[in-house]
Copies of this chain bind each other. A is one copy, B any other.
């Protein structure tokens, strides 16, 4: 049986309540997500004390969050607070007041802990070996250094998008060049003191609202074809250009910029300045945005503790497993289609029918596991739904190109359909991808037909070449299988398309030696 849990994140800029459903079998999915732009850090007075208004606003918000948790009948509320509370002289008083008034216990994270959760979010949601991570909050900025998937450096710096704006750009108009110079000098000095950061020339992975919003702006400008912020790569020159244009706009003008969130219009430019300064210091050319951050790090910690390990090894396969359970894929069938597809791929490769390697094999593996996910929408037009779902739902640990290839291969039905699908993503795909999708798509189709009854009665297959004929040997105890009524038509199609001659043969019970 599953249960709901709530995570309250009392940030320096934003307070958020996220409701999750934990199905008790390894799938935790977001159910609701309420955001209030409280901007707590702006209620710090000159003595670094949260003002009475700050107390009131926060308590009002926490009351509302608590009501929602009560309505969902949620017992398990995880609350965390970050820089604003950390930096306030009376931060603990605020947390005590929240607990007294609502019963919600909020844990104050140290900067180190915050950085650690950022690392956990990235390493468990991306296939990344070496990188710098950055999380710009309202009142602090966390950095970590990932090397061979381990965290080898972490730091929390005491400035964020809101505080930098207050300190350097305290102006609702267009800041003069000198303001920017002072800001960049400050950032340069801050980053200059971190020895594991300078001139690392590795990708910078950015979490948090500023990063997501920057990615949205760049995507809207270029009319990017995929609506996904996770693992979106932004080039340094594009960041520079967004910065230059935004820094010349008033706050009101910025609110009209496509993709820019109105409630960030005042603080986003100093946030982008942080990215610029960081890329400069690290001499990196690419920023990759992560849709997973602090909250996800906390969830990953809980899951990993239960499973007694320090991180997820194969992020993509773990995420695929979650999707399969969430959308109730027939798992024995999906695993068997994968198994047969892998046998077909390996034999075809050996016979030099396909020129592909590990990259394509992995695409095929994941696509064959997910080929039927569209059934969660409907039994009719399942292939179309599979494509819709896989091109719209996040699979962790994959690049955008990998995601589109998997979606198209999994949903492969015919020539016309896949070409139409690929044509939607010209900015993501490469020239060779059409050929890849076609070949791998045929293999998935054939593997599916080989288990059309979903009963795994064709135990395994082997392709043999005899007199220019390709014979697919099907290892099965039973000769009258539904599969054998459908295989001939499929092989006829395949023979035409590949300009080869495919046949099949039933070869009795014993399983192919592996």
Residues of A within 8 A of B (CB): 29-34, 36, 60-61, 63-65, 67-68, 70-72, 227, 375-381, 384-385, 388-389, 392-394, 452-455, 457, 478, 480-482, 485
Contact = CB atoms under 8 A, between A and B. Distances in A.
A480 B385 contact: no
Determine how many copies of this chain the complex contains. Answer: 2
Contacts of A480: 60, 63-64
16 contacts: A30-B379, A31-B379, A32-B379, A32-B454, A34-B453, A36-B485, A64-B485, A67-B457, A68-B482, A71-B453, A71-B454, A72-B454, A376-B377, A378-B392, A378-B393, A378-B394
Contacts of A32: 379, 454
Contacts of A72: 454
B453 A68 contact: yes
A375 B481 CA distance: 39
A384 B380 CA distance: 20
Nearest to A376: B376
A384 B393 CA distance: 12
A481 to B, nearest CB: 7
B379 A33 contact: yes
Contacts of A385: 392
Nearest to A59: B480
Contacts of A376: 376-377
A114 to B, nearest CB: 24
Contacts of A377: 376-377, 389, 392-393
Contacts of A61: 485
A454 B376 CA distance: 25
A481 B393 CA distance: 32
Contacts of A29: 379
B482 A34 contact: yes
A421 to B, nearest CB: 15
A29 B378 CA distance: 9
A455 B379 contact: no
Given A60-B480, A63-B480, A381 B68 contact: no
B485 A453 contact: no
Contacts of A482: 34, 64-65, 67-68
A392 B376 CA distance: 13
A32 B378 CA distance: 10
Contacts of A227: 381, 384
A384 B378 CA distance: 17
A384 B391 CA distance: 13
Contacts of A481: 64, 67
A478 B485 CA distance: 66
Contacts of A379: 29-33
Contacts of A64: 453, 480-482, 485
Given A31-B375, A34-B452, 10 more contacts: A32-B379, A61-B485, A64-B485, A67-B455, A68-B453, A68-B454, A70-B455, A71-B454, A378-B393, A384-B392
Nearest to A71: B455
A19 to B, nearest CB: 9
A473 to B, nearest CB: 21
Contacts of A67: 453, 455, 457, 478, 481-482
A65 B453 CA distance: 9
Nearest to A332: B71
**5 shortest interchain CB distances as A-B pairs:** A71-B455, A64-B482, A30-B379, A68-B453, A378-B393
Contacts of A31: 375, 379
Contacts of A485: 36, 61, 64
Nearest to A17: B482
Contacts of A392: 377-378, 381, 384-385
Contacts of A68: 453-455, 482
Nearest to A262: B489
A26 B480 CA distance: 36
A443 B65 CA distance: 25
Nearest to A456: B71
A229 to B, nearest CB: 9
